Structure 1
Amino acid sequence: MKLKRKQFGVIGLGRFGSAMATTLTELGHDVIGVDADESRVQQLADVITQALQIDATDERTLRAAGVRDVDVAVVSIGENIESSLLVVMQLRELGIRTIVAKAVTPLHGRILEKLGVSRVIFPEREMAVRVAHSLVMPNVLDYIELSRDFSIVEVPAPDAFVGRTLKQLELRPRLGLTLIAIKRRSPDSRVIVTNIAPAADEEIRPGDTLALLGSNERLNQLDQLLGR
Structure 2
Amino acid sequence: MNEGKEAGVLAHLLNTMKKQFAVIGLGRFGGSIVKELNDQGMEVLAIDRNEEKVNEFASVATHAVMADTTDENTLRSLGIRNFDHVIVAIGDNIQSSILTTLMLVELKVAHITVKAQNDYHEKVLNKLGAHKVVHPERDMGIRIAHNIVSKNVLDYLELSDEYSIVELIAGRRVHNYSLTELDLRAKYGCNIMAIKREENIDVSPAAEEKINSGDILIVIGADSDITRMEQDLFDDDTE
The verdict on a shared fold, with TM-score over 0.5 as the criterion, is: yes
TM superposition outliers: structure 1 runs of 4+ over 6 Å: none
Return the offset for 1:40. Answer: 1.2
Alignment partner of 1:220 out of 219, 227, 230: 227
Alignment partners' CA distance in 2, 1:161 and 1:155: 12
CA spacing shift, 1:205–1:41, aligned 2, 3 Å: farther
Task: Please give the secondary structure, in 1, of the residue aligned with 2:130.
Answer: coil
Displacement of 1:30 = 2.9
Contact 2:173 2:233 (C-alpha < 8 Å) held by counterparts: no
Q: Deviations over 1:134-183 (max 9, x none)?
A: 11112211111122221111123446666766455533124421122344
Map of 2:165 onto structure 1: 152
Structure-1 residue corresponding to 2:132: 119
The aligned residue for residue 30 of structure 2 is 17
Counterparts of 1:5 and 1:116, CA distance in 2: 25
How far did residue 122 of structure 1 move? 2.3
Residue 70 of structure 1 deviates from its aligned partner by 2.3
Aligned to 1:135: 148
Matched, 1:210 2:217: yes
1:62 match: 75
Residues 108-117 or 42-51, more deviating: 42-51
Task: Please state whether the residue corresponding to 1:120 is helix, strand or coil.
Answer: strand
Are 1:50 and 2:63 counterparts? Answer: yes
Judging changes above 3 Å, is the alpha-carbon distance between structure 1 residues 224 and 30 closer, same or farther for their aligned structure 2 residues? farther
| Contact 2:169–2:234 (8 Å) recurs in 1 | no
Question: What CA distance in whole angstroms lies between the structure 1 residues aligned with 2:209 and 2:21?
Answer: 35
Once residues 195 and 17 of structure 2 are traced to their aligned partners in structure 1, the CA distance between those partners, rounded to angstroms, is 21
Per the alignment, residue 180 of structure 1 pairs with: 193
Measure, in 2, the Cα distance between the counterparts of 1:79 and 1:58.
18
- With over 3 angstroms needed to count, the CA separation of the structure-2 counterparts of 1:174 and 1:206, relative to structure 1, is same
SS in 1 for 2:153: coil
The answer on 1:87 being equivalent to 2:92 is no
Change (3 A) 1:49 1:180: farther
Structure 2 unaligned residues grouped into runs of 5+:
1-14
Give 1:73 shift.
Answer: 1.6
Name whichever structure is richer in helix by fraction: 2
- The aligned amino acid for 1:88 is T
Q: Cα deviation per residue 1:84-106 (whole Å; 9 max; x = unaligned)? A: 11111121122113211112233
The Cα offsets for residues 9-30 of structure 1, whole Å up to 9 and x where unpaired, read as 2111111111222223334433
For the structure 1 residues 148 and 45, does the alpha-carbon distance in structure 2 shift closer, same or farther, using more than 3 Å as the test?
same
Calculate percent identity across the aligned residue pairs: 41
Give the root-mean-square deviation of aligned CA atoms: 2.8
Query: 1:80 & 1:58 partners in 2: Cα distance?
Result: 15
- Distance in 1 between the 2:198 and 2:204 partners? 17
Q: Distance in 2 between matches of 1:142 and 1:129?
A: 10
**How far apart are 1:117 and its partner, in Å?**
1.0
1:68: how far off? Answer: 1.9
